């Protein structure tokens, strides 16, 4: 909004953040920490993507590496079989 972007972009961003919080809050309590950590990694990658698409931000290789590490962490948290 600081660059006179349409107000609908702000509403879309608010809706996405709200959905993010609701989905995290609906997770089973015993798994909440793990799920919340995984959402955090996804959030970092999506924040960079939002900056690229909406703000015209151009991430450098360190931004991309950091996001890739976060997404790899999500896979490590979510993928292993648990029993």
DSSP of 13-81, one letter per residue? HHHHHHHHHHHHHTS-GGGHHHHHHHHHHHHHHHHHHHHHHHH-----HHHHHHHHHHHHHHHHHHSS-
Domain ranges for the chain: 7-78
Element (H, E) at 75: helix 61-78
pLDDT band at 2 (very low <50, low <70, confident <90, very high): low
Extract long-range pairs of 16-20: CB within 8 Å, 24+ residues apart: 16/46
pLDDT band at 15 (very low <50, low <70, confident <90, very high): very high
Tens digit of each residue's pLDDT (9 = 90 or more) over 31-61:
778 878 888 899 899 999 999 998 899 999 9
């Amino acid at each position: 909004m600081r660059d006179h972007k349409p107000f609908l972009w702000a509403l879309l961003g608010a809706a996405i953040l709200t959905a993010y919080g609701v989905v995290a809050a609906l997770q089973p309590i015993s798994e909440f920490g793990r799920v919340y950590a995984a959402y955090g990694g996804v959030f970092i990658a999506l924040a960079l993507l939002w900056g690229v698409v909406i703000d015209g931000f151009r991430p450098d290789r360190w931004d991309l590496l950091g996001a890739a590490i976060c997404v790899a962490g999500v896979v490590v948290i979510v993928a292993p079989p648990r029993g």
